[in-house]
A and B are shown apart, each in its own frame.
Chain A
Amino acid sequence: MAAWVLALANLKGGCGKTTLALNLAAGLARRDSVGLVDADPQGAMRHWVAWGDEENDASGDRDLPRVLAGGADPLGAIARAARNHERVIVDCPPSLDMAVTRRVLERARAVLIPVLPSPLDLWASAETVAVVRQARQANPELKAWLLVNQAEPGSALSRAMGAALAGLDLPALGCVVRRRAAFRAAAVEGVSVYQLGFRGREAAREIDQVIRAITEQE
């Protein structure tokens, strides 16, 4: 079972775990076989894909990977996905399920931690970094990166985030994902930004950059 497992995790809610998990999975699926595991009982990612199936049935444009629900057994779902796919992307829940996040990280090859450009999100991410440290006791090879999501290049705070992240003991990925309407529009339509065509072009380019940065360091 040598599938490459990437977790999207942050105990802080609303930082973009689900949005990035789904779009990264869609980007990776253009090259490799990808399974998605929804380890969040809120089930936003399952809903996104199920909605897409319903909405886009007629067009046949359904290139979103299948989602396995983690339910009470996210590790079992990861193992099942890993048997059938080369790559597995796991959407982790926010803080109430810290134990779930830790168990997923003990099984993952890499974790990407989205952080919004705001002091509150910066502070809260310190806790997630601590969970990465704990998971590395069982999984010393776990790679981890911070990624600023919803960056606003015109904002001084967004620009200051790069330097501030250096205080978190984990490397930043080296690129950022900007705040873009395309990421929300994709959810409304039940698709990834790749399927938005021209409207999603810049967002898709950013997701490609993230994929390149991660896979270069595999």
Chain B
Amino acid sequence: MSKLEDKLSASLKPARSKPTPVAKPASRPTTKDRAPVPREQAPAPAGDKDDVTRPLHPRRVWPD
């Protein structure tokens, strides 16, 4: 093993021993608290509907 490999592998150890992140259980709502208005109540942008017949991104934002 090269020195770099050893160092990289060793550097992973503290990250692995961090407490396991807790994901909310599946049954609970998942709307993030960061948004002042819950996503469900916010008007859904047209592109957010999964209807394949409507354009997903009607506005072109790519530069010409």
| Residues of A that sit less than 8 Å from B by CB | 11, 41, 43, 46-47, 49-51, 54, 66-69, 71-72, 77, 80, 96-103, 106, 119, 122-124, 126-127, 130-131, 133-134, 138, 156-157, 160-161, 163-164, 166-168
Residues of B within 8 A of A67 (CB): 56
| Residues of B that sit less than 8 Å from A by CB | 1-2, 4-5, 8-9, 11-16, 18, 20-21, 23-24, 26, 28, 30-32, 34, 39-40, 44, 47-50, 52, 55-57, 60-62
Tell me the smallest distance from the CB of B57 to a CB of chain A, in Å. Answer: 4
- What are 11 A-B residue pairs whose CB atoms fall within 8 Å in the complex? A43-B48, A43-B56, A47-B61, A51-B62, A71-B49, A72-B31, A119-B8, A127-B15, A130-B21, A164-B9, A167-B9
> Are the C-beta atoms of B16 and A69 separated by less than 8 Å?
no
What separation, in Å, do the CA atoms of A94 and B48 have in the docked complex?
Answer: 18
The majority secondary structure among interface residues of chain A is helix
What separation, in Å, do the CA atoms of A131 and B25 have in the docked complex?
Answer: 12
> Are the C-beta atoms of A163 and B5 separated by less than 8 Å?
yes
> Are the C-beta atoms of B21 and A131 separated by less than 8 Å?
yes
> Are the C-beta atoms of A46 and B4 separated by less than 8 Å?
no
Tell me the smallest distance from the CB of A24 to a CB of chain B, in Å. Answer: 20
What separation, in Å, do the CA atoms of A20 and B4 have in the docked complex?
Answer: 28
What separation, in Å, do the CA atoms of A154 and B20 have in the docked complex?
Answer: 35
Instruction: Name the one of B12, B14, B57 contacting A47, with C-beta atoms under 8 angstroms.
Output: B57
Instruction: Name the one of A43, A99, A123, A130 contacting B47, with C-beta atoms under 8 angstroms.
Output: A43
> Are the C-beta atoms of B30 and A99 separated by less than 8 Å?
yes
> Are the C-beta atoms of A126 and B15 separated by less than 8 Å?
yes
> Are the C-beta atoms of A50 and B49 separated by less than 8 Å?
no
Not counting A99-B28, A131-B21, A156-B2, a sample of 18 additional A-B residue pairs whose C-beta atoms are within 8 angstroms of each other reads A46-B47, A46-B56, A47-B61, A50-B47, A50-B56, A51-B57, A51-B60, A51-B62, A69-B56, A99-B24, A102-B23, A102-B26, A122-B12, A131-B23, A160-B8, A167-B13, A167-B16, A168-B16
Residues of A within 8 A of B32 (CB): 96-97
Known: A49-B56, A119-B11, A131-B23. A69 touches B48 (CB 8 A): yes
> Are the C-beta atoms of A126 and B8 separated by less than 8 Å?
no
